[in-house]
Structure 1
Amino acid sequence: MLTVKQTNELTSQELVQVLKERVAVFVVEQNCPYQEVDANDFDDLHVQLTDDAGQLQAYTRIMDRGDSVTFGRVLVVKAYRGTGLGQQIVQATLDAIAKRFPGKPIQIQAQAYLQKFYAGFGFKPVSAVYLEDDIPHLDMRLEATHD
């Protein structure tokens, strides 16, 4: 099931499940000690794919930056990797952005090894590769489409 909720709309169970998986992936798996939960978590959009029992399968968060929108913390829970949920959660995120922030471009900080993955959605690199928390990243942008 797909849900898109503001932080204050999440149940305590949903919030704990999201934060638990984010720390598992971005701090523990990637061996990257940093402040994973941040001020953006107070007022952003959380895109979740869950199974029939309500267990988190995939996740992103969306943030409005004023002149653009960004999303990040893209994850697929380990047990569900390799099933196409990465494509599904990113497409759901792009659809949510188009609905809520029409006409705004999307700019992301992508891990460099995912450049081709995001290019498949139309993102183009707008920076050289740089290190963020000792992980190679690059900035990528998807221009707004106007109907």
Structure 2
Amino acid sequence: MIAWRCARFDELSAREVYELMRLRSEVFVVEQRCVYLDADGADPGCWHLMGEDGDELQAYARLVPAGLKFAEASIGRVVCDPSTRGTGLGHALMREAVERVRALWGPGPIRIGAQAHLEGFYRQHGFLPDGAPYDEDGIPHIEMLRP
């Protein structure tokens, strides 16, 4: 059973920071073979949504206030533990992330910079392409907006 926790960066324990950075690195750097600086300076200004099963981090998303990455509030660093793929956890994570963004900052558009191959996944959560595809760290991306 996944328990959701959403906290500001300064409210996270050292263990939580370690676990979310480990999961992000495991998937975005190692699995996807993408050398980039994950610690981009934005984390201290964001909220961090974590889905845990017991003491194991299974899902994570970074909730970004308007003006920090995009003009709109955004959701980024969306990741699930590879062992959970195919279980629907990614969809649960996105539903929870959208709800938390609305609770934090009210109604309004939400923007994401999605890996292009996941466009269909994000469309299922109300996001529509907004702009031309672009390359980010060697991976095709597309901005998407949920009105």
On whether the aligned pair clears a TM of 0.5, the verdict is yes
Count of residue correspondences: 142
Distance 1:51 1:103 in 2: 30
Residues 26-66 of structure 1: CA distance to partner in whole angstroms, max 9, x if unpaired?
Answer: 111110111011210112111011002x1100100011123
Normalising by structure 1, we get a TM-score of: 0.93
Distance 1:41 1:123 in 2: 23
Deviation at 1:104, TM superposition (A): 2.4
Matching residue of 2:58: 57
- The amino acid across from 1:3 in the alignment is R
Query: Secondary structure in 2 aligned to 1:39?
Result: coil
Matching residue of 1:90: 94
Identity of aligned residues (%): 36
CA root-mean-square deviation:
0.9
Displaced runs of 4 or more, over 4 A: none
Gaps (5+ residues) in structure 1? none
Matching residue of 2:128: 124
Deviation at 1:103, TM superposition (A): 2.3
Normalising by structure 2, we get a TM-score of: 0.93
Alignment of 1:9-28 (within 5 A): 9-28=11-30
